[in-house]
Homo-oligomer: A and B are copies of this chain.
């Protein structure tokens, strides 16, 4: 692979019984995926595991060496079911310590709110050697250790932590994604899609075309998404696809529908 074209990847471990029970709809996968893409990093795998230390350790150790970055969400609050810090420390074989800066943040915050109890102090615990990720949205910081980024479960707090990380992680070229769509049955255009993808193959993975069918207003339709690391190639492919679909008599909407 040519220098500069290295593909940077990340994995995400979502820690949460509430997601696996169906009680809570996860929003962090989409949020982190979108954010990563802007950093030029590709989300390559997600695992959702229960609040069980050995399952968290297993997932973290399976993914932290095979990707440039590993994110986790969930389980960093003050209650007994928040075991992410302990689990990641166990995965890395380091002890859990109280981070002095984290303690100072909590002390200041709880000064007029009953003081820093043992439960509250839990939120300043980190795997030894970790640094904090600043968070302008709420006071709770995220945690970074090695290539692991430990984020909150509550999506808008995670957003604050991502904001604190923006521009700090090395990545490659963001994947460019262009969409067209219409009330077109994907089975009517399968050959045409395959042909367009093949015609725009290239050295760096060329383009990939995804076909996403939907049913709306009682009608069948599809959106077609062209992804590439090369904007010109993505543009050429989507233009060719547009022409081919139009020539075949379909009404196509740029940007998708």
By a beta-carbon cutoff of 8 Å, the part of chain A in contact with chain B is 14, 17-27, 29-37, 42-51, 55, 77-82, 114, 117-120, 122-123, 138, 153-154, 156, 175, 177, 186-188, 190-191, 193-194, 197, 208-215, 225, 227
Contact = CB atoms under 8 A, between A and B. Distances in A.
Chain B CB within 10 Å, residue with most, of A43, A79, A177: A79
A51 B82 CA distance: 33
Main secondary structure of the interface of A (DSSP, over half): mixed
Contact of A210 (B51, B78, B118): B51
Contact of A55 (B24, B42, B45): B45
13 contacts: A20-B44, A21-B37, A21-B43, A21-B227, A22-B32, A26-B26, A26-B30, A29-B48, A51-B210, A77-B187, A118-B191, A119-B191, A138-B215
Contacts of A114: 188
A27 to B, nearest CB: 7
A81 B30 contact: no
Copies of this chain, count: 2
Nearest to A82: B211
A81 B211 contact: yes
Contacts of A27: 25
Given A45-B47, A45-B48, A187-B78, A154 B30 contact: no
A115 to B, nearest CB: 11
A193 B33 contact: no
